[in-house]
Amino acid sequence: MRLILNSPLDMHLHLRDGDMLQHVAKFSAKDFTGALIMPNLVPPITDIPSLLAYKERILDVMGCEQFTPYMSLFFKSDYKADFLERSRDYITAIKLYPSGVTTNSDGGVEQFDVKKLAPIFEAMSELNIPLCVHGETNGFVMDREKEFGAVYECLAVAFPKLTIIMEHITTRSSAELLKRYENLYATITLHHLLITLDDVAGGLLNPHLFCKPIAKRYEDRDALLELALNANKKVMFGSDSAPHPVSKKECCGCAAGIFSAPIALSALAELFEKHDKLTNLQAFVSDNARDIYKLTPIEKTVILEKKEWIVPATFGDVVPMFAKQTLKWQALSQK
């Protein structure tokens, strides 16, 4: 049995830089036609020369693979309208991080004052630049995303022409917000469709499933599954694949991030087949993103075969999701 996917897209991807970029980029390039690249490097990508240099480094690693890195800027509260206008042709989105909520977010927004930031959001609305948001407060870890919902509602009402992407949603409350506001959309990760907090810390602590936003409750996972499996037009796949070396995961002060790039399409095919929803996978991993972001990706056909394979224990110095486990689908080739 074979499954054909046309131009699959990963709309939330961490490729890192330097040696890690050299190592992990090939996995996304093999299975996807493009990805929205996160800008939270050290230092973050906040200007066009840095963005173009990073894009060139990514393309150099990709070699002859058919892959488009869709670039994003790290949101800064001092961006001006003329800078955004000059940037429009080089970027697909701007990513907003509240300060300190996740990896390399210390340069993010300290205080979320919508009135103070209004000129930026108004300019982005007029220029049709989507705003991607890591939506968490600094409150109790299980409540952070739900608490941020009020900010999403404020933004959606105050800037109705602004396309707002709630990144890697994890809660039923976020799923409900999608129904209320026309200009709210969301990415959903593979891991948040599969795991709950039980898988991370219900028994022995599994550092390789520790991520931010942290996995939530069963009812939250079920709400995400309902959206993804039915290919709701307001959601799209974003892996949030975030590699860290073993030394940063299996240690005190474990880094947040799950490395799913090598197995994402295989595991998604297995999940959608399990729920008799394989016909909806194309929309979730490509068609919805094209509509939301107004993209015309490179034509690329990825073929998956129903063929068992064992996920390697490591890829270099990075442990993948499902390490040493058997998956039922395998991405074999592309055209």
Which residues are known catalytic residues? 240
Of 47, 41, 111, 38, nearest to 77 (Cα)? 111
Of 300, 327, 307, nearest to 35 (Cα)? 300
Decide the pairing of beta strands 301-310 and 164-166: unpaired
DSSP string, 228-289: HHTT-TTEEE---B----HHHHSSTTPPP-BB-TTTHHHHHHHHHHHTT-GGGHHIIIIIHH
Q: Is 10 helix (H, G, I), strand (E, B) or coil?
A: strand
All residues at 6 or more sequence positions from 12 whose CB lies less than 8 Å from its CB, including other chains: 35, 36, 38, 132, 167, 168, 187, 189, 238, 239, 240
Cα–Cα distance, 273 to 251 (Å, whole number): 36
Sheet with 164-166, strands from edge to edge, namely: 9-13, 34-37, 68-74, 93-96, 131-133, 164-166, 184-188, 235-237
Cα–Cα distance, 222 to 149 (Å, whole number): 19
Task: Give the N- to C-terminal CA distance of the chain in Å, as an integer.
Answer: 18
β-bridge mates for residue 320, sequence order: 259
